[in-house]
Structure 1
Amino acid sequence: MGLKRVGNQTVKLENPPSIISTASIVGPKEGEGPLKEYFDMILEDDLWGTESWEKCESKLQEETVRMALTNAALSESDMNYLFSGDLLNQIISSSYCARQLGIPYFGLYGACSTMAESLSLGAMTIDGGFAEKVACVTSSHFSSAERQFRYPLEFGNQRPFSAQWTVTGAGAAILSSSGEGPFITYVTTGKVIDPGIKDANNMGAAMAPAAVDTISNHFRDTGYNPDDYDLIITGDLGSVGKSIASDLMKEEGYDISEVFNDSGVKIFYHEEQDTHSGGSGCGCSAVVFAGYVYKELLKGSLNRVLLISTGALHSSISTQQGESIPGIAHAVTISNSIE
C-alpha cells in the first residue's frame, strides 16, 4: 500500500495519467489581460445570459467541462468521475453543474487550492485503477465572490493595495489512463498552515507560508530542486504573497526566483486594470493552468511544471468573529515525459 509514497507528503504515480484536453472560459476583464490568447472563450459580460452571477458561475463550469470533452472527442458518458469545486456556500456552482452533466461527482472545497486538489485526486483515482477517465474543473466569479465574502458591489468600497481581484472564469481538464501526455507524475498534498493573518484583504500573506511548506516538502520528498523545473507556478498569491513566498523559500534553502511565477500575477495587467496585488479565486490557477500552462506544455516551451494551487480557508463568518485565515497549498508535477 505504501509503495507509491515518496517522503512525508508526496505520491509518485506508477501509472501517470495523461491530461488529454483542457478548456478555459473567462470573463471580459480576464480577456483584456496578458494571457487572452490562451483562453478558449472570453465572455462579453459577467452574466452570460443568466439571471444572476451565481447562475453564470455554474454555467461557466458546465460549459467548460463540455468544451474540454469536445476537445477530447468524448462525451459525459465516457467519464467515470467529476471532481469539481468553487468558492460559494456549499459549492453550489459545482453541484448545479454536476446536476446538468450527470457524471458521478465528488464535490471539493479547498478554497483557491481546489484546481490542484481536483487534479491530485483525479490522478490518484486513475493511478489506483479506479477510473479510466475523469474530469476536473474549478471556477470562481468576481461578483459572486464579492457578494459572499466582502461587500455588495454597489457599496463601492476602496481596496487596499494588498487586496486581489477574484477571477471570473473556469478551467477544466480531462485525465485519462492512456494518452501521450502531458502527464501528472507527482502529487504533494499540503498541510493547513496558519501564520495568524486576520486581514481578508491580504490573502497573499495568509497563503504564502502554506505554499512554501508544500514546495519545500515536495523538494525534500522527491529530491528535485528548482533547476529541475521549467516553471514553478503558484495559484493566486498575487504580488504581495509571491514576494513573501520567494523570501521564505530562500530561508528553506531553495532559490526558486529564476523559475517562479504566480497565476494571480500573470493573469492581469495590474496597474492598467487596477487589480492591485493581482488575481485570486478558484478560477485563477484553473484558467492559467488550463490555458497558458497546458498549451505551453503541448508546444514544448515547457517540459516540467510544478503547479501549486493555494487557498485561504476562511469564511465571511470566521472573519467577522476575528478568526485568523489558515492557508493550504496542493502541488502536482506535470511533465511531458513519464518519470
Structure 2
Amino acid sequence: MVNQKRVIQFKTPVYVEERGTAVGPKEGSGPLGHGFDYVFPSLLCGEKDWQTAEKKMTEKAITYCLHKQRLKDNHLDLFIAGDLTNQSTVSSQIARNLHVPFIGSYSACATAIENCIVAGMWINGGGARHVLCASSSHIGGCEKQFRFPIEFAQQKPDTAQTTVTGAGAIILGRHQSMIQMTEGLIGKVIDLGINNPYELGAAMAPAAADTLLTYLQETEQKPSDFDLILTGDLARSGSEIFKKLLREHGVIVSENYDDCGVMMYGTNQQVLAGGSGAGCCATVVFGHIFNEILANRLKRVLVIATGALHSANTVQQHKTIPCIAHAVVFERRGN
C-alpha cells in the first residue's frame, strides 16, 4: 500500500468478490429498480418497527452477498458496518448474529465508502482475506431520529432530500474478479457554516470538491480520465454547487458526472432534491454501477461519497454542520 500524502494506492490488489443490495418499494420502483437484488414491498419489511425493518433489509443484502460468493460466516475475517441509527444499533445487532470480528463505522451518508477504504487497508496490510462491509438507512427511522416521524405532515423546502430505504453489502478480498478497488482517499471534515438540516447538499458540496481537487492534484489526473465521477449524495441542489466550486478552480465535470441521490429516483417520484442516507451510495454503487462495469459500459469510476456529520441534538442547538467526503476508484479488470 502506497500513501501519496492522502491518496492511498492499494498495491496488493483488492477485488470486489461479491455484492448484495436490498431496497424499499419507492427505490424499487425508480429508474434503478431492476438492478437491485431484492425489493421489499413495504417499508416495514414484514416487521413491527423501522429499526427491525432496516436490520432485516441489511441481513437480506448480506445474505445475497454470501450466497452468491458461496461463503459462510466463518470464511469472513472481518465485518465493517454502519448506519444512521443512534450508536449504529442496526449494524451492532447484525454483528451479534454473524460471530465475526466487527468494526462499527460512521461517516453518515459516506459510510459505505469509508468501509471500503478501511477494508482495503486491512487486506493490504495482510490482516484479512475476506472483509464484509455493509451500510444502510431507512426513511422511517431517520425521519423519526433527525426530523419528525413520517406520520407528521411537515412541509419541506425543495432543497430537502429524501432518505433512501436501502442496504448495500460488499465482500472485498484478494480473490481476483472483474472489479478492482485500486485507490482510496480519506476526506477531511469541512464546515461551510450551514446549520439548516434541509440544506445538506449545499453543506456537503465543499467537502466533495475538496476531495476531488485533492485527488486530481496528488495523482496528476484529469476528470476525463474517468468514465464516471459519481458523488453521493449531493442531490440536485448540492450537485450544482459542487460543479460551481470546481469551476472556480478551473475543473469542469459535466458529461461524465452524476450523483447517487439524483440517480436513485425518477422525476415523477416527489422526492424533492433527491435521495440521501447511508444506503443511497451503497445501493447505487453496489447495484447499478457495478452492473454497468460488469457489462463493460463503464471501466473506471471515481466514487466520492459525502456525509453530513450532524445529530438531532446539534440541529436543535443550531450548530453548523461539519461534512466529509471519502473517495475510492473502481476499475474493470479483464475483457
TM-score of the superposed pair, with normalisation by structure 2: 0.98
1:332 aligns with 2:332: no
Q: Which residue of 1 aligns with 2:302?
A: 306
Report the counterpart of residue 318 of structure 1 in structure 2.
314
Once residues 220 and 142 of structure 1 are traced to their aligned partners in structure 2, the CA distance between those partners, rounded to angstroms, is 37
Aligned residue for 1:36? 33
- CA distance in 2: counterparts of 1:71 and 1:286, whole angstroms: 18
Q: Deviating runs (4+, > 2 A) in structure 1? A: none
Q: Secondary structure at the match of 1:17?
A: strand
Moved more, 56-65 or 157-166: 56-65
Which residue number corresponds to residue 132 of structure 1?
129
Q: Deviations over 1:160-191 (max 9, x none)?
A: 00000000000111111121231110011100
AA partner of residue 279 (structure 1): G
* Residue 5 (structure 1) aligned to one of 3, 6, 19: 3
Unaligned runs of at least 5 residues, structure 2? none
- SS of the counterpart of 1:25? strand
Return the offset for 1:159.
1.1
TM-score normalised according to structure 1 size: 0.97
Q: Distance in 2 between matches of 1:143 and 1:162?
A: 19
State the match for 1:85 in structure 2: 82
Number of the residue aligned with 1:156: 153
Q: What SS does the corresponding residue of 1:256 show, helix, strand or coil?
A: coil
Structure 1: distance between partners of 2:253 and 2:171: 29
Q: What residue in structure 2 maps to residue 225 of structure 1?
A: 222
TM-aligned CA deviation for residue 152 of structure 1 = 1.7
Structure 2 partner of 1:25: 22
CA distance in 1, matches of 2:74, 2:176: 19
Q: Which runs of 5+ in 1 are unaligned?
A: none
Selected match of 2:66 from 66, 69, 74: 69
Distance apart, 1:49 and its partner CA: 1.6
Q: CA contact under 8 A between 1:62 and 1:100: conserved in structure 2? A: no
Opposite residue 241 of structure 1, the aligned amino acid is G
- The answer on whether the counterparts of 1:232 and 1:259 sit within 8 Å (CA) in structure 2 is yes
Structure 1 counterpart of 2:51, which letter? E
Q: Which of 196, 209, 221 is the matching residue for 1:212?
A: 209
Give 1:250's aligned residue. 247
> What code does the residue aligned with 1:186 have?
E
Query: What is the match of residue 277 of structure 2?
Result: 281
Please give the secondary structure, in 2, of the residue aligned with 1:317. helix
Take 1:186 and 1:13, find their aligned partners in 2: how far apart are those partners?
Answer: 6
Root-mean-square deviation (CA, aligned residues, Å) is 1.1
What residue number does 1:179 align with? Answer: 176
Separation in structure 1 between the aligned mates of residue 291 and residue 326 of structure 2, nearest angstrom: 21
